Amino acid sequence: MKYKATIHIMPRDEILDPQGKATLLGLHNLGLDDIGQVRIGKRIEVEVEAKDKQAAEDKVKEACTKLLANTIIEKFEFELN
Amino acid sequence: MKFGVVTFPGSNCDHDLIYAMRENLGQEVVHLWHKDHDLQGCDFIFLPGGFSYGDYLRSGAIARFSPIMDEVIAHANKGGYVMGICNGFQMLTEAGLLDGALLHNASTRFICKNVHIVPASRSALITQNLEHKAYKVPIAHGEGNYFCTPDVLKKLQDNDQVIFRYCDENGRITDAANPNGSLDNIAGVCNVGKNVFGLMPHPERAADEMLANMDGRKLLAQLV
């Protein structure tokens, strides 16, 4: 079976996100003063061949922990379809 | 000691490092390719600076899985010397050979300038015999903001694993002298075994008389 995983990677809450902070400044300069916080992460889409959903989940989790996310500084979650 | 410098796709300080070790310090240096599985009998492996794999995903994350890294990690785990400079430092944290991670500079800017660093560790090969003063060495990075958890920081301090800290020209460790937001002004660390080193500044760019700054040579000379 072919599955599609949509992975969301975000900087951990305790990590300063200078990219988000700079972007927030831009939003405020735009006049959008009600926006209080911006955090920027990334979305990764992968296709995975696996015998069932559990096996696909295991493979995506391995991909995330070993390469796609650095769990010291990032957290991840994903949906499988 | 026989030195090896690994070139990854996107490395751009490999030849500076080879020149510094071979021409400035008169050492035997071999040039290693990331796709090989052979360290050619080298005692000391350098992972040079640059933008391996275009810094895609995270700096150093993809290079960490280059074929030669199996041998580099095995070499380090046997107690062999490995040093990563700049992008090489990022690879070593990604490989788990060094603690922590290198975040985007707090300013969000790529910084290319001379900074001062002061030796910290009294027990690591690269710093133990260095005079305790400020050394002027250039940095050139976008992701050099050293981060680790409070537990890890305590472990690094307790085990004398911080090798250099950013300082002003008089050797004072201040916030103003911290170019990138690094925790505790950390510019470089080593592992518990004191055989794996990571350093963001580029000593190989300050090792030749023609460059009018020889402080980097003093650092590299500690490894010889």
Kindly indicate the confidence band of residue B14, based on its pLDDT and cuts at 50, 70 and 90: very high
pLDDT in tens, B56-87: 999 999 999 999 999 999 999 999 999 999 99
Q: Tell me what pLDDT residue B182 has.
A: 98
B37 is catalytic: no
Q: How many CB atoms lie within 10 A of CB A21?
A: 15
pLDDT in tens, B177-202: 999 999 999 999 999 999 999 999 99
In this complex, is the C-beta atom of A13 within 8 Å of any C-beta atom belonging to chain B? no
Distance, in angstroms, between A21 CA and closest chain B CA?
9
Q: HEC profile for A31-49?
A: CCCCCCCCCCCEEEEEEEE
Q: Quick check: B101 and A70 CB within 8 A?
A: yes
Largest CA distance in chain B: 45
Question: Percent of chain B beyond pLDDT 90?
Answer: 100
pLDDT in tens, A12-34: 999 989 999 999 999 999 999 99
Kindly indicate the confidence band of residue A56, based on its pLDDT and cuts at 50, 70 and 90: very high
Q: Tell me what pLDDT residue B88 has.
A: 98
Cβ(B92)–Cβ(B82) below 8 Å: yes
Looking at every residue in chain B, the average pLDDT score rounds to 97
Q: Tell me what pLDDT residue B117 has.
A: 98
In this complex, is the C-beta atom of A30 within 8 Å of any C-beta atom belonging to chain B? no
Residue of chain B whose alpha carbon sits nearest to that of A14? B149
Across the interface, of A19, A67, A70, the residue whose CB is closest to B108 is A19
Q: Quick check: A67 and B62 CB within 8 A?
A: yes
Q: Tell me what pLDDT residue A7 has.
A: 98
B169 is catalytic: no
Q: Tell me what pLDDT residue B139 has.
A: 98
Buried b / exposed e over A45-75, threshold 16 CB at 10 Å, is ebebebeeeeebbebbeebbeeebbbebbbe
Distance, in angstroms, between B26 CA and closest chain A CA?
38
Interface A-B, measured as beta-carbon pairs within 8 A, has a size of 33
- Active-site hit among B13, B42, B75, B86: B86
> In the predicted model, what is the mean pLDDT of residues B214-218?
97
Q: Quick check: B108 and A15 CB within 8 A?
A: no
Question: Percent of chain A beyond pLDDT 70?
Answer: 100
Q: Tell me what pLDDT residue A30 has.
A: 95
pLDDT in tens, B83-106: 999 999 999 999 999 999 999 999
Q: Tell me what pLDDT residue A32 has.
A: 96
Domains of chain B, each with CATH number or no CATH = 2-221 (3.40.50.880)
Domains of chain A, each with CATH number or no CATH = 2-80 (3.30.1280.10)
Most A CBs within 10 Å, among B57, B89, B141, to test the A interface:
B57
